[in-house]
A = this chain, B = another copy of it.
Amino acid sequence: MSTQNSAAAAGRPVLVTDVLRERIVEGDLPPGTPLRDVALSAELGVSRNTLREALRTLHDEGLVTQQLHKGTAVKTLSAEDVTDIYIARRTLELSAIDASPLAPEPLLDAMEAKVAAAELAVSAEAWDKVGTASLRFHQSLVALLCSARLDGFFRVTIAQLRLAFAVMADQGAFQAPWVARDREICDLVRGGRRADAAAALRLYLDDSERTVLDAVRANSRTTTAAKGKR
């Protein structure tokens, strides 16, 4: 009766996986950080085997890299990863707009609620929360497709994208325009103007990809320079 499991029964490995995933996508464990199983298992109070299971799941989710006998480390996104992720985003999000006329009303409401939440974060100037809130809107957009599998894939993909966010310089108030564009897209979808919504989303994703790519390239330059200098 020590720790009540409020939700459905979850084994320890998934608990540990959730903790580590949170730390990684939140930037607490920056890309490149080695994840030593003996140290982590001691810190989290679980056995090495349990921790290894968690690391394997994170590997399957693309959040960490595993090299035989070299261990596990938080993944550093390459430029190819970013373009790959944005192909997936365009595919799913544009398809979702296509399918929006068939989507049940509650899902559209949920989508609007996510935009509102993002706007709230902006007006509260909680810049560290804005990026996450915006991504939640895009997640709810994909949810219009009504496929749990696509939802899960998109969630994992977005988590990977946050690996890049973690190393980006904090943009502060410069994040507000993204939310305004989220609102525009959301309203166009709700208004049934699919073509306009798709066009706006396309531009949005192009701009977003460019921004993230620049950040990733800048980061890779500094890290390789640091390594070279050493």
A contact residues vs B (CB 8 Å cutoff): 1-2, 9-11, 13, 49, 52-53, 56-57, 60-62, 67-68, 84-85, 87-88, 91-92, 94-95, 145-150, 153, 157
How far is it, in angstroms, between the C-alpha of A11 and the C-alpha of B91 when the chains are bound?
Answer: 33
Closest Cβ of chain B: how far from A187's Cβ, in Å? 24
* Pairwise interchain contact A95-B91, C-beta atoms closer than 8 A: yes
Chain B residues positioned under 8 Å from A91 (CB to CB): 91-92, 95, 145, 147, 150
Instruction: Say whether, besides A2-B60, A9-B67, A62-B1, A87 and B53 are in contact (CB < 8 Å).
Output: no
* Pairwise interchain contact B150-A87, C-beta atoms closer than 8 A: yes
Closest Cβ of chain B: how far from A229's Cβ, in Å? 30
Chain B residues positioned under 8 Å from A150 (CB to CB): 87-88, 91
* Pairwise interchain contact A62-B157, C-beta atoms closer than 8 A: no
How many monomers of this protein are in the complex?
Answer: 2
* Pairwise interchain contact A147-B84, C-beta atoms closer than 8 A: yes
How far is it, in angstroms, between the C-alpha of A151 and the C-alpha of B88 when the chains are bound?
Answer: 10
Chain B residues positioned under 8 Å from A94 (CB to CB): 95
- Nearest 5 pairs of A and B residues by beta carbon: A87-B147, A9-B68, A91-B95, A153-B153, A49-B49
Closest Cβ of chain B: how far from A158's Cβ, in Å? 11
How far is it, in angstroms, between the C-alpha of A26 and the C-alpha of B229 when the chains are bound?
Answer: 53
